[in-house]
Amino acid sequence: MDQAALERIPAAPGVYLMKDAGGKVLYVGKARQLRARVRSYFRPGGGDERPFVASGLLGRLVADIEAFVVGNEKEALLLENNLIKEHRPRFNVKLIDDKNYLVLRIDRKASYPRVEVVRGIADDGARYFGPYHSASSARETLKLVNRHFQLRTCTDHVLRTRTRPCVLFQIKRCPAPCVLPIPKERYAAQVEDAILLLDGKNDDLLPRLRARMGELSEGLAFERAAQLRDQIAAVETSLERQIVVQEQAVDQDVIGFHRRDDRVELMVLFVRGGKLLGRRAFALRGQAAPDAELLRRFVVEYYDLGATVPGEVLLPCAVDGAAAIGEWLHAKSGRRARVLHPQRGARLRLLELARKNAEASFIARGEQQEDLLTTLEKLGHSLGLARAPRRIECWDVAHLQGTFTVAAMVVFVDGVPQRGEHRRLRVRTAGNDDFASLYEVLMRRFRRLREGDASFPAPDLCVIDGGKGQLGVALAARRDSGLPERGEGAFEIIALAKERSLEGGGVETDRVFLPNAKDPLRLRPGSAELLLLARVRDEAHRVANTYHRNVRTRRTIRSVLDDVPGIGPARRRALLTHFGSVERIRAAPLDQLLATPGMTRSSALAVHRALAGGGVP
């Protein structure tokens, strides 16, 4: 890097972007003093032990540095986070996968709000609660709320269109606001009760419920008082399962940390009102950053995804810009938040508890990984492979009588699905020919391998969903693409056929077809090797079918609505949002079409004629 260019960088707080010769952002960082921080990357013995810095790789790749000066450290934190999300630089590792981020959502602005499980957080003004460490944990909480707080569970569309109460009304789980005149004030009180429960504010919730139960009893509304009695009992039962970890009624997130080489386990303990409500573990691999830098990035990513901000965030080591992070959390949540590194007392004991949980989770995860590697070794031995198939690709084709044909490739590494590497492909081959479709997509994949595309390395094992015929097609595609069948760079191809019913009434389990073998290989039913192969095949089947269903839905909607004169994307969305389906649009009278937001009389007439077959009522 040119020394003169480094001298031109301002000596002020801000954010820097390191770019390669093509202008692509390689790394984004923040600093209290930009010039000193950036110069440290290019000074021998700068003290930065990250491999991409210590090895000089970053210095060799950087061709230009862009600097943004900001007013203070909080502004630098915000800008750094936004630029990382925008550019996704090569050397800024994303720590948390937001696709696995499970939360509960309540939109107070909705007509008769409900609680729903969602993935990811939207900036829509709704309240979000979580995160939950598993789908079962989130749905168990949702089940408690729906059973005892009687909020609707149906979608907004069903709420608008239902004409009579559903079974939940009959079993006294829902007051049926879809058809009955439920006072909004009474329903809103139930919503606020549910929010207090989800916030962990049971000390506020219980007196509120007991006072309301007493009022109903005095008013001789004994049935509704009994419902409140059941609510109180449910809340008290949940309190019995909570562990008191400190006397102070404070909301805290306690982050435990355990590291072994480049593998890190982070454990977040959720303490609300002094009680331990739950936890969530995060496994990070290939992490070369120092502990403090990794923790800082984790905290920013974690709360940026929408996790509930507590009053205190306890960290096992001091991080740069802790005060700025606290200010950012305050601005984000509207409540005071502090990022602390305790040295003594109850907070330090909580951190030790979190550390032990992180270590236990790391060990359990390692044992599970060792079991998977053992299974892969056994699978490689059963298939006659030279080594364990640590990287497995599986292919499946989906269509509807030869239409909307798509394919999916899924990737498993060390027995774990790598969803970021899954691929969905549109098949160009026309007609109802599974073999031709499979040959096409495999040729596209194998040609990229032959050309040395490093974005997807060659698998150790390629699994095809199907039987001997599909295996023959895959072998032909490999041969025609010029890939080696033996030696360096070669990989094995097998086919996995689903279990089938026999004429005598029995069931033949999954069969594995190998090249140059007349009969299929039958792995022991229920063995770990067969279960792993079936899991890989089922994942490919799921991805292919989901993609096929989405493509079919989009094309069907287009064929019906997009060819109508005067109906563009905005009006199409408005119609589908208002009516819920093409069938309801087709059945709607002209006045209802005209009442849809954004519709004119001419466009409503065009839709009615196109879908109803002409004729205006």
- pLDDT tens by residue, 10-65: 888 889 988 888 888 888 888 888 888 888 887 776 666 677 777 777 778 888 88
DSSP annotation of 559 reads I
Query: pTM for the full model?
Result: 0.60
Look at residues 532, 410, 420, 404 and name the one whose alpha carbon lies nearest to residue 462: 410
pLDDT of residue 614: 45
Residues facing residue 465 across a β-bridge:
496
Across the chain, what does the average pLDDT equal? 83
Look at residues 475, 465, 460 and name the one whose alpha carbon lies nearest to residue 533: 465
The pairing of strands 492-497 and 461-465 is: parallel
Predicted confidence band at 454 (pLDDT cuts at 50, 70, 90)? low
At 516-525, the pLDDT tens digits run 888 888 888 8
Q: In 233-366, at which residue ranges do the beta strands (DSSP E only) sit?
A: 243-244, 252-260, 263-272, 275-284, 312-314, 338-340
Q: Quick count: other Cβ atoms within 10 Å of Cβ 367?
A: 10
pLDDT of residue 615: 38
131 preceded by cis ω (within 30°)?
yes
- Tell me how far apart the alpha carbons of residues 433 and 548 are, in angstroms, rounded to a whole number: 16
Specify whether the CB–CB gap between 300 and 291 falls below 8 A: no
pLDDT of residue 250: 79
* Residues whose CB falls within 8 Å of the CB of residue 406, separated by 6 or more in sequence, listed in order: 397, 398, 399, 424, 425, 426, 427, 544, 547, 548, 551
pLDDT of residue 478: 92
Q: What is the mean pLDDT of residues 553-573?
A: 78
Q: What is the mean pLDDT of residues 450-478?
A: 88
Q: In 371-420, at which residue ranges do the beta strands (DSSP E only) sit?
A: 391-400, 403-413, 416-417
**Run of H or E residues at 598:** none
Percent of the chain predicted with pLDDT > 90: 19
* Residues whose CB falls within 8 Å of the CB of residue 154, separated by 6 or more in sequence, listed in order: 114, 162, 166, 178
Predicted confidence band at 470 (pLDDT cuts at 50, 70, 90)? very high
Q: Which residue has the higher pLDDT, 500 or 265?
A: 265
Q: Which domains does the chain have, with CATH numbers?
A: 3-87 (3.40.1440.10), 99-244 (no CATH), 252-292+313-363 (no CATH), 391-550 (3.30.420.340), 563-612 (1.10.150.20)
- Tell me how far apart the alpha carbons of residues 81 and 594 are, in angstroms, rounded to a whole number: 45
pLDDT of residue 616: 37
Residues facing residue 526 across a β-bridge:
none
pLDDT of residue 571: 87
| Side-chain half-sphere CA neighbours of 415 within 13 A | 21
